[in-house]
Chain A
Amino acid sequence: MGFLIFLLKAYMVFLMLVLLLYIIRHYTFTLNRALGKQRLYYQDVLDEDLPTVSVLVPMHNEEKVASHILDLLVASDYPKEKLEIIPINDHSTDRTKEILEEYAQKYPFIRPLHRYGDLPRGKQNGLNDALKIAKGEVIIVYDADYLPPKGQIRTLAIAFKDPRVGAVMGRVVPVNAGKNLLTRLLDIERSGGYQVDQQARYNLNLIPQYGGTVGGFRKSVVMELGGFDPRILAEDTELTYKIYLNGYKVAYANSAECYEEAPEDWNVRARQLRRWSRGHNQVMFKYFIPTILSKNLNFWQKIDGLLLLAIYMQPFLIFLGLLDSLLLFFLGEMEIASSYLFLLFMFAHNSFGNFAPFFEIGTALVLDGSKEKVFLLPLMFFEFIFNIIYASLGFVDAVMDLITKRTIIWQKTERFRNA
């Protein structure tokens, strides 16, 4: 029994140290973004010799939103002779195919890729097929619910003038933030995640993440690295690590803001979170050791890279911590200072944010000038257990994927916009 208690206490110490590490990391990011010198993106680079760009838009039953994004891409100010748009129709059973064909007839630079039959479904599979036909030197990816502004392709593509840039990422802003509690909470989370977290990682030369949409990558680099692994759901996180491990970097464009449709329904959000967690943890299993051993990453990049890899494992660790605390309680070990302080730390860190503490989101809101939104911070309490449950389920899914090598089936996020 004594050994069991020792193990339980040791786990709590381990958990506390892990969470403390994340708190320090986020506090550093907050200070850096709020007060430090910001790293310039490439928006001031003016060059007539723009790279050729292929915009890929993965779509599965996107009749509600397909025309919105295509209209905006058509209106883009990027030279049309250097632009092609490839909507990837991935086994759609609604009117997506017809809508894409209508646009293709009207605009010669829109070249849809229809995927049916035996071709495996999923964003990563669609991207791999599209890469085979894409002519652009640079690939920009948008999810179908995104609403890119006129000059954004240029803003994103210009970063590739720097030969060290392997991928670029813009800022995501929910268009339906005011819809309900969930969209409001996701809106402020995004604010913390991009305005502070991503920009600070970019400033500090750590690992800003390519997010799979409102971003792009250099085609030659991705082709050289073997495209996307069809067994990994988080193709964006995987690409981030592939790029860094091979000596390239990800540029973050905080000025490249693009509207997205945030999930309006908690069931949809639960599925999305579980999928993200599953995919992210798959990447963790694959890249944890290579990150440690990499010769292309410096010490701090390795630390940040490892913490970023483990971020979706945190909820599962906290879940185990809660079970551990309950066990310690019934074993009469509640009095040890650890029990109450650990809980305090755990909740301080995670209660009020997805994976960002309240002070990081609060600072992001001040930087954004969103004064009323600060009152939403205490309401993030509602997400605490929800996040733990669905992110933990995603972690379990990833472990099962690793053990059973089962086939991965992509779950699409439901859209809420009216067609």
Chain B
Amino acid sequence: MASRQAYSKIFEVEKPVIGYARFGRVLKFNKYLFLLQLIFLVVVFELLVIFFLEDYFKVLSDIARRILEDSYTGNYKFLSFKLEFSISPGRLPTLEESFIYLLASFLSLLFLISRFNPLPKYISAWLMYIAFVYFVSSFYFMFFANSFPYTERDFAVLYILQQTGVFLFIPILLAFSLSIFTFSWLNPLLNAITIALSLAYSSVFGGLRYIVFAYTLKNFSYIHMPAMFFLFGPLLDFIYIVSFYSFCLYVTIRLFQRKQEAFYQWGF
């Protein structure tokens, strides 16, 4: 009995210093907090997006009208929303422009796949993708420019749809990714701040990008339109969304790192 007590005592003393080895630890989990913050973050931020959607595009339209020359204002009805936009008339590329882009993109592709290319492969891969999109675009405008199915108004509508998709998607993506962390009631707050910051960044970035795109279509022709969707569209949005996710993760670990017990437990 005595030895058993002594053993228990030793065990009790030593137990707190046994680290949670990374192979077998899991995160402390509160399923109620998980569900609560998941629902809260998705519902609240989706409602906020819906609530401010018309106002956002109205403000963007006002700013665009002041910056873009010869712009006109239009509306797009998306479900029950009336989304406003301002856009300047764009233009089709001339034959010479198309030819120059075709030649430049073709030569770029040849150079990028050649053995003389000194660039790292991950940079080359991206440049190849850019060159390929421009090659297809310039080829199209060389031969079928008059059949191009979009006007500047169509571009504005497509952009609105894309940006609305990004706004609606951010809370879902981040809420599902971050709700896993349920160490304390600080997590919902931190996660909410992260989503709010992502949305705020997205609204500024999305607005600036729209104005730059509209300016480009007016001054440098529709030849750039595919790049706007396939190179500088949702793909770029995910960089900052994941950046905010990373930042939130870093702050989460920093907040709780002093006590391993605060966020790890054995998984067995």
Interface residues of A (CB under 8 A from B): 27, 30-31, 33-38, 40, 171, 182, 195, 254-255, 257, 266-267, 269-270, 322, 325-326, 329-332, 334-335, 337, 340-341, 343-344, 347-348, 351-352, 358-359, 362-363, 365-369, 371-372, 374-378, 380-386, 388-389
Name the segment of B41-49, B54-62, B251-259 touching the other chain. B251-259
Binding site for A on B (CB under 8 A): 21-27, 29, 34, 120-123, 125-126, 128-129, 133, 136, 140, 144, 149-150, 154, 157-158, 161-162, 165-166, 169, 173, 176-177, 180-181, 226, 229-230, 233-235, 238-240, 242-243, 245-247, 249-250, 252-254, 257, 263, 267-268
**Is the pair B180, A363 in contact by a Cβ cutoff of 8 Å?**
yes
- CA distance in complex: A331, B247 (Å): 41
CB-based contact B23/A254 at 8 Å? yes
With contacts A329-B226, A332-B149, A340-B161 taken as known, whether A37 is within 8 angstroms of B268 at the C-beta atoms is yes
Apart from A351-B238, A367-B26, list 13 A-B contacts with CB within 8 A.
Answer: A35-B27, A171-B23, A255-B21, A267-B121, A329-B226, A332-B149, A340-B233, A347-B234, A367-B22, A371-B249, A377-B243, A378-B240, A385-B125
Indicate if the CB atoms of B267 and A37 lie closer than 8 Å: yes
Chain A residues whose CB sits within 8 angstroms of the CB of B26 once the complex forms: 33-36, 38, 367
Contact of B235 among A40, A257, A351, A366 (CB under 8 A): A351
Q: How far is the CB of B108 from chain A (nearest CB, A)?
A: 14
List, in ascending order, chain B residues with CB within 8 A of A335's CB: 154, 157-158, 161
Q: A326, B133: Cβ atoms under 8 Å?
A: yes
Bound CA span A46–B198, Å: 52
Q: Main SS of the interface on chain A?
A: helix
In the complex, chain B residues whose CB is within 8 Å of the CB of A347: 234-235, 238
Beyond A343-B234, A344-B165, A358-B177, whether A352 also contacts B253 by CB under 8 A is: no
Are A322 and B230 interface neighbours, CB within 8 A?
yes
Residue in A closest to B235 when the chains form the complex, CB atoms? A347
* Shortest Cβ gap from B28 to chain A (Å): 9
Q: Which residues of B contact A330 (CB under 8 A)?
A: 136, 140, 144, 149, 226
Chain A residues with CB below 8 A from B24, complex form? 38, 254-255
- The interface residues of chain A lying within 8 Å CB-to-CB of B252 are 366
Given contacts A36-B267, A369-B22, A386-B125, contact A334 B249 (CB under 8 A): no
Contact residue among A33, A269, A389 (Cβ-Cβ distance under 8 Å from B128): A389
Contact A359 B122 (CB under 8 A): no
Residue from A255, A343, A378, A380 in contact with B233 in the complex, judged by beta carbons closer than 8 Å: A343
- Residues of chain B within 8 A (CB-CB) of A331 are 149
- Judged by DSSP, the binding face of B is helix
In the complex, the answer to whether A329 meets B234 with C-beta atoms within 8 Å is no
CB distance from A51 to the nearest CB of B (A): 23
Q: A171 to B166, alpha carbons, bound, how many Å? A: 37
CA distance A113 to B158 in the complex (A): 64
- Evaluate contact between B166 and A365: CB separation under 8 angstroms: no
Q: How far is the CB of A112 from chain B (nearest CB, A)?
A: 33
- Residue numbers in A under 8 Å from B144 (CB-CB): 330
CB distance from A418 to the nearest CB of B (A): 22
30 cross-chain CB contacts under 8 A: A34-B180, A35-B29, A36-B267, A40-B268, A182-B122, A254-B24, A267-B121, A326-B230, A329-B230, A330-B149, A330-B226, A332-B149, A332-B150, A334-B150, A340-B158, A340-B233, A341-B165, A343-B230, A343-B235, A344-B165, A352-B242, A358-B245, A367-B22, A367-B25, A371-B249, A374-B246, A374-B253, A383-B122, A384-B235, A389-B128
In the bound complex, residues from chain B placing their C-beta under 8 Å from that of A359 are: 176-177, 180, 245
Q: Are A348 and B238 in contact (CB under 8 A)?
A: yes
Report A-chain residues with C-beta under 8 Å of the C-beta of B165.
340-341, 344
**Shortest Cβ distance from residue A356 to the other chain B in the assembled complex, whole angstroms:** 13
Closest to A203 in B: B267
State the CA gap A332–B148 with chains docked (Å): 8
Residue of B nearest to A180 (CB): B120
Give the chain B neighbours of A344 by CB distance below 8 A: 165-166, 169, 234
Q: Quick one: closest B residue to A326, CB to CB? A: B136
Q: Inside 8 A of B125's CB, which chain A residues have their CB?
A: 385-386, 388-389
Shortest C-beta distance, B79 to chain A (Å), equals 11
Expressed in whole angstroms, the Cα–Cα distance for A347 and B234 within the complex equals 8
Known: A40-B268, A362-B245. A371 touches B157 (CB 8 A): no
Q: Are A368 and B22 in contact (CB under 8 A)?
A: yes
Q: Inside 8 A of A195's CB, which chain B residues have their CB?
A: 22
Q: Which residue on A lies nearest to B182, using beta carbons?
A: A35
- Smallest CB–CB gap between B151 and chain A, Å? 11
Q: Closest residue to B233 on the A side, CB-wise?
A: A343
Residues B249 and A374 in contact, CB atoms below 8 Å apart: yes
Distance of A398 Cα from B47 Cα, bound (Å): 48
Docked pose: A369 CA to B26 CA in angstroms: 11
Contact call B161/A337, Cβ cutoff below 8 A: yes
Among B24, B25, B122, B249, max chain A CB count under 10 A is at B122
Q: How far is the CA of A195 from the CA of B23 in the complex (A)?
A: 7
A359–B179 Cα distance when bound, in Å, is 11
